[in-house]
């Protein structure tokens, strides 16, 4: 058994974080890391103290909104946004960090990532939105798409 690379290690964490999601469409997880230390995590879900899609149903499904469009019509805050918010709430700087994500960020999250000073984004999904890729390139943010790590946890007890 070989040890996972650092990217695989943190990408695997994003899958665990995503298990907390309250979205009926996609479970998304994000992990903010600097110097191989976890700064904050986030998953997609309703605003603090608010009812979520598990309880109320999906607004996007009810309105027939296609995936990847009209992000503003949703109860959930995106995982990337929640990770940055958690860092902020706890006084943790995101400057120079790497954002690991289960899914490639939308353009809204990409703009927030740029302003948060994050220098690298790693995902195991392709960046389908050309606008996100263009923004990251213009902002000097490194984008890496890695193979999805094996979701099975292996350890010796």
Report the 10 Å Cβ neighbour count for 24.
15
Closest CA to 46 of 18, 21, 13, 66: 21
User: HSE of 55 in the Cβ direction (CA atoms, 13 Å)?
Assistant: 8
Query: Hey, which residues are catalytic here?
Result: 80
Q: Summarize pLDDT for 97-119 with one digit per residue, the tens.
A: 999 999 999 999 999 999 999 99
User: Global pTM?
Assistant: 0.91
Look at residue 71 and tell me whether its pLDDT is greater than 90.
Answer: no
């Amino acid at each position: 058994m070989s040890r996972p690379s650092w990217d695989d290690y943190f990408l695997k964490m994003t899958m665990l974080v995503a298990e907390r999601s309250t979205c009926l469409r996609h479970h998304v997880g994000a992990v903010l890391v600097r110097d191989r230390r976890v700064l904050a995590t986030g998953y997609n879900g309703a605003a603090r103290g608010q009812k979520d899609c598990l309880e109320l149903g999906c607004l996007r499904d009810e309105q027939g909104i296609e995936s990847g469009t009209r992000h503003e019509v949703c109860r959930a805050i995106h995982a990337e946004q929640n990770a940055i918010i958690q860092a902020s709430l706890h006084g943790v700087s995101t400057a120079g960090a790497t954002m690991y994500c289960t899914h490639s960020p939308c353009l809204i999250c990409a703009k927030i990532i740029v302003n948060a000073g994050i220098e690298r984004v790693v995902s195991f999904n392709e960046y389908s939105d050309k606008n996100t890729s263009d923004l990251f390139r213009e902002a000097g943010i490194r984008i890496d798409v890695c193979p999805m790590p094996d979701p099975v946890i292996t350890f010796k007890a």
